[in-house]
Chain A
Amino acid sequence: MEKEIKPVNPVKDKIYQNLLQEIAGLYTMPMGAFNIRADGQGVERQTTANIDIETKKDQPGIDIRVKAGTKNESIHIPVVIGRTGLKDLVYNDFYIGADADVTIVAGCAIHNPGLEDSEHDGIHRFFVGENAKVKYIEKHYGEGEGAGKRVLNPTTVIELARGSTMEMDSVQIQGVDSTIRETRAVVGEGATLIISEKIMTDGDQYAKTIFEVDLDGEDSRTHLISRAVVQGDSEQIFVSKMEGNNRSRGHSECDAILMSRGKAVAIPEVTANHPEAELIHEAVIGKIAGEQLTKLMTLGLSEEEAEAQIISGFMK
């Protein structure tokens, strides 16, 4: 079933639609379950036979419950803010039943037209049942002609039960002035957590990522991948903490390309509390490799074209 997006504010309708397109690729209402939040309020919701969405009673936010065995369904929960000076705090909890296989598309976009800061702090908790699979896609985006800052602070808390898998793809390409992104996970027996994050900052933007993964279960695994492009005078900090508390494998890699006067910091903390925990951390920070530019120039690209090609591939 597809229908037109219900106007949030008739005057600014186009702005909200653009924001939804930026973070969720939505041109019309999505198939499957969804909950769209605009300017701090839920505006449109759809549930399915297998996926229920309920408004929390004690705090702002929703509970999303996916029935055991649900296959190939998607849940869209985009958040858009089109006002200046709005501070939105939301708690969303996902309960994924055993053996389910679902895709969740979240993300937040802010259009700040004014002088005051606009901020969205989303606290997402995932309780992933045994042998379930979750693909979680999260995009953050900011725009707006006002001087007010666009601030996004997502917190993600993940509990993976035996044999489950979660893949989290997180992208922030432009327009977010300040972000602190915290992801904490406990990985159970035979479970796998893969997080891939891509962040591009410019101007005087600031981005800090904190990954904290406890590999508690036997044969639990995690792979944490961060790619950063740090332009202008911006700054990015990457903190990666892995704790191997059982026979487990963890791999964390941070790759940052510095441009102009950008600053990047990678802070690993790798702890093995078990003799069969294998943990690796890699960090590479520096400007674009000269040989990459040279190679593309030998194929006929100008230096600027080569640079753009390398950055767009790196952030793809």
Chain B
Amino acid sequence: MLELVDVTVAVPVGDGIKEILRDVNLRIDDQFVAVTGPNGSGKSTLAKVIMGIVRPTSGRILFNGKDITDLGIHERAGLGISYAFQQPVKFKGLKVFELISLAAGRDLTKDDACEYLSQVGLCALDYVDRDLDASLSGGELKRIEIAMMLARGTFFTILDEPEAGIDLWSFQNLIGVFRHLHEVTDGSILIISHQERILDMVDQIIVLNEGRVEQAGPKDEILPGLLLPADTCRAACDYYAVS
């Protein structure tokens, strides 16, 4: 279980200070949770605060009852937190196989690595010996990023807009992959997304707005309200089109 208590992240902007997260209080049990909200609402910062990439200005973070606020990134990774980046990192000279092995934290065979790649829809033999560099497309990098999460298989996994850059045809398969990851780790998955189909598959939804938790609760309660603005917008568009 992960708990954020009064977490605030403030950064200096010009002469003032901007609060990217404001007094965030959250409790994430062993569930499938989505974080959504407008651009700039603090979603990725929330993910980075949990992973330890961004340190909170104030507040505490607890993981399975242990205060991890002052722990570094790799210490949190060691406790079982994983993070799939929104924009996957490219390397020069490190191969896909090596990164999946590092993610797994053990010596993998090529067959093991191929198994993870196949699960995310990549024809494994074409990829396992390739460098994880700019020669791969955005969609390929995203899938490899998710394959690394499968290899880690930790208790708490954060996926930051994992569907971005993935073609619609493969979308349904990826949703299956997330479900599978949730089942095998028997832990929590925190998925940042704007996609209705992803929001529809989770147990809980957290809505961030301007750095605050605007809503949090079971999907069935939150999701209908989220879909309203789009309908309202569509109605407005229709109105202007007619007039």
Q: How far is the CA of A157 from the CA of B232 in the complex (A)?
A: 72
A303-316 interface code vs B (CB 8 A; 1 in, 0 out) = 10010011001111
Q: How far is the CA of A249 from the CA of B28 in the complex (A)?
A: 56
Nearest opposing residue in chain A for B74, CB measure: A297
B92 x A298 contact (CB < 8 A):
no
B51 x A314 contact (CB < 8 A):
no
Interface residues of A in 268-316 (CB under 8 A from B): 289, 291-292, 294-303, 306, 309-310, 313-316
A227 x B82 contact (CB < 8 A):
no
A-B contact count (CB 8 A): 58
A291 x B89 contact (CB < 8 A):
yes
Interface residues of A in 210-237 (CB under 8 A from B): 227
B6 to chain A, nearest CB (A): 25
Instruction: Report which of A296, A299, A300, A315 forms a contact with B93, defined as CB distance below 8 A.
Output: A315
A177 at the interface (CB under 8 A from B): no
A255 at the interface (CB under 8 A from B): yes
A310 to chain B, nearest CB (A): 7
Nearest opposing residue in chain A for B100, CB measure: A299
Q: Which size class do A's interface residues fall under? A: 20 to 34
A89 to chain B, nearest CB (A): 35
When distances are taken between beta carbons in the complex, the residues of chain A under 8 Å from B85 are 291, 295
Q: How far is the CA of A255 from the CA of B73 in the complex (A)?
A: 28
A299 x B53 contact (CB < 8 A):
no
A255-B92, A309-B102, A310-B94 known; A297-B78 Cβ under 8 A = no
B77 at the interface (CB under 8 A from A): yes
B156 to chain A, nearest CB (A): 12
B130 to chain A, nearest CB (A): 13
A296 x B98 contact (CB < 8 A):
no
When distances are taken between beta carbons in the complex, the residues of chain B under 8 Å from A300 are 74, 77-78, 102, 105
When distances are taken between beta carbons in the complex, the residues of chain B under 8 Å from A294 are 53, 73, 89
Q: How far is the CA of A306 from the CA of B77 in the complex (A)?
A: 13
B89 x A297 contact (CB < 8 A):
no
A297 x B93 contact (CB < 8 A):
no
When distances are taken between beta carbons in the complex, the residues of chain B under 8 Å from A310 are 91, 93-94
B74 x A301 contact (CB < 8 A):
yes
Q: How far is the CA of A8 from the CA of B228 in the complex (A)?
A: 85
Instruction: Report which of A292, A295, A299 forms a contact with B152, defined as CB distance below 8 A.
Output: A299
Which B residues have a C-beta under 8 Å from some C-beta of A?
51, 53, 72-74, 77-78, 82-83, 85, 89, 91-95, 98-99, 102-103, 105, 148, 152
A selection of 20 A-B contacts at a CB cut-off of 8 Å is: A227-B92, A255-B92, A291-B89, A292-B91, A294-B73, A294-B89, A295-B85, A296-B102, A297-B74, A298-B77, A298-B83, A299-B148, A299-B152, A300-B102, A301-B102, A302-B74, A306-B74, A310-B93, A310-B94, A313-B94
The 9 A-B residue pairs with the shortest CB-CB distance in the complex, in nearest-first order: A313-B93, A313-B94, A297-B73, A295-B89, A300-B77, A297-B74, A314-B93, A291-B89, A298-B83
